[in-house]
Chain A
Amino acid sequence: MPNDPASGPILEFEKVSLRYGDSWALRDISLTLNPGETRIIFGAAGSGKTTLLKAVIGLVEVNEGRIRLFGQEVTSLQESQRFGLRSGAGVLFQEGGLFDSLSVGENVQYPLLNRQRGDTETSPEDAEKRVREALRFVELEQTFDKFPAEISGGMRRRVGIARAIVTEPPLVLYDSPTAGLDPITANLIMALVAKERDVRNSASLIVTHRYQDGEIMSDFRYDPEREELLHLNGAADARKRDRTKFIVMKEGQIVFFGTRQDLEKSTDEYVKRFVRHEENHAQ
């Protein structure tokens, strides 16, 4: 059962390595994530970003090192013992990962009714109320009875976010939340991700290719009164900006870890690609 997230780090990686045949998917990865913190993970295709996310909740078996999630060691648990622990983390998959034979409402309701943890049973009435709240959060309450095939890619991604946060998890993992979306929809998705972090102080791990996604998480906060994102300014907001750190991965290794300012100052040719790439896009 997950510990109280306020009592310590939500997630800890300690020298974690994973090999697929001769190549390293993850190599000597160490990181810590506390409540309310965000890690933006950049890296070339095949650099181990998605594997890292999957390792967090034990979807892949690592060869070396230890992973602690909510104070429990994922790496020492058997598959059947991990299901309860996984219920404590929300996950958004690259393509949404929605069940295409279930309606949008049923998809979002799924984690509430199918969790394999005896202490969190939800009545169907309460579940529907919470589903509608989650769909309202992503501004898609009207799609409750539609099927995933009947809505757009961006909407599917937003439904995926609703499903990831409906159980109010202390940690949310986002795998390329904006991949393949137009800039307007991508910014809307990231605004929802920032809103989720700031409304509930949840921790987030975000794998992305877009530099702007990191910028939004690092430089903006959600204002619940004005219901919009506000730019973080001045020294008073410095602590809030520091909650977001950037990770750059290369061939399974972390080759950069730091703030956005550190990232922009980096002289490493590989690391610079992830900053300049987006600048070129913006031109």
Chain B
Amino acid sequence: MLDFLKTLVASFQDFLFLAGRSFKNLVRRPHYYDDVFLQMDIIGVGSLPIVALTGGFSGMIIALQMARALNTYGASSQVSSIVTLTLVRELGPVLTALLVAGRNASGIASELGSMKVTEQIDAMRALGTDPVQKLVTPRLTATALMLPCLTVVADAIGLFGAYLIAVPLLHLIDSGAYWSMSWRSLVMNDLAQGLIKPFIFGMIIALVGCYYGLRTTGGTQGVGHATTQAVVAASIWIFFVALLMDKIFVGL
């Protein structure tokens, strides 16, 4: 039991060291801007279709479920406010982060893991390049910048999905009122948590993916193991940090 805890603490310490070095590299030369833009394309543009689809379906499902519940109290016109708050505050950031974790934490871990087991990371160090600066910092920057953008897209498409259910399909509310109530229900606190959360989640996804990738051992089987661990760890961290942040923002 003690050994298990020791390993856990040592792993967390290594993770913090990696995070510290990645952040330090943000202000250290050289900067690999090409790699940042490449990763933004892979993580941001590449995740757009799945994020848009999921966002749209989430909005539709929430609208359908809420319509029934709200009908009971004769408050079906409130569907727009509820969908907006649910999506912007919580579901948009968390769902998008989980999707990107599934798609990109695994991608990052397998890419870096393969490089590790085929000596490419050692080769990089031997050729005078810091792998953290070349591989981790660009992924960290790209994911932290792209996840809030993806979340905004998911929120917008989710709201549109809910609109399709609430307005043309169920006639719960008219079109103008839907958008107006949706806008009025949001306060600065909601927008702040809707954007700060994905920013933090983005950092978690990139760092967890890179951490498991860079500590891969044991050939191709090790790469598979690292990939699975990265997705599981990133998902757990996302929920844990979401809970912490909710506590902070709800307390505001």
Interface of A with B (CB < 8 Å)?
54, 57, 59, 79-80, 83-84, 86-87, 89, 91, 93-95, 97-100, 110-111, 114-117, 163
Contact = CB atoms under 8 A, between A and B. Distances in A.
Contact of A116 (B119, B122, B130): B130
A111 B127 CA distance: 6
29 contacts: A54-B122, A83-B125, A83-B129, A83-B130, A84-B128, A86-B125, A86-B126, A86-B127, A89-B126, A91-B123, A91-B126, A91-B127, A93-B119, A94-B119, A97-B118, A97-B126, A99-B115, A99-B124, A100-B118, A100-B120, A110-B127, A111-B127, A111-B128, A114-B30, A114-B129, A114-B134, A115-B127, A116-B30, A116-B128
A57 B30 CA distance: 21
Report the contact-size class of chain B (Cβ under 8 Å from the partner).
10 to 19
Given A83-B125, A99-B124, 19 more contacts: A57-B126, A59-B122, A80-B130, A83-B129, A86-B126, A86-B127, A86-B128, A91-B126, A91-B127, A93-B123, A97-B118, A97-B120, A97-B126, A111-B128, A114-B127, A114-B128, A115-B127, A115-B129, A116-B30
B122 A93 contact: yes
A97 B128 contact: no
Nearest to A83: B128
Interface of B: 30, 114-115, 118-120, 122-130, 134
Q: Interface on chain B toward A: helix, strand, loop, or mixed SS? A: helix
A100 B119 CA distance: 11
A110 B127 CA distance: 8
Contacts of B134: 114
A235 B145 CA distance: 69
A247 to B, nearest CB: 21
Contact of A95 (B30, B119, B125): B119
Contacts of B119: 93-95, 97
A98 B130 CA distance: 16
A115 B118 CA distance: 21
A97 B122 contact: yes
A114 B130 CA distance: 10
Contacts of A100: 114, 118, 120
Nearest to A88: B128
Most chain A beta-carbon neighbours within 10 Å: one of B118, B127, B128: B127
A86 B123 CA distance: 11
A94 B114 CA distance: 16
A87 B128 CA distance: 5
Contacts of A117: 128
A97 B114 CA distance: 11
Given A94-B119, A100-B120, A59 B126 contact: yes
Contacts of B129: 83, 110, 114-116
A94 B115 CA distance: 14
Nearest to B118: A95
Given A114-B134, A116-B30, A99 B120 contact: yes
For the complex of A and B, list the 10 residue pairs with the smallest distance between their C-beta atoms, beginning with the closest: A97-B123, A87-B128, A91-B126, A97-B119, A115-B128, A86-B128, A111-B127, A83-B128, A93-B119, A114-B129
Contacts of B122: 54, 59, 93, 97
Contacts of B125: 59, 83, 86
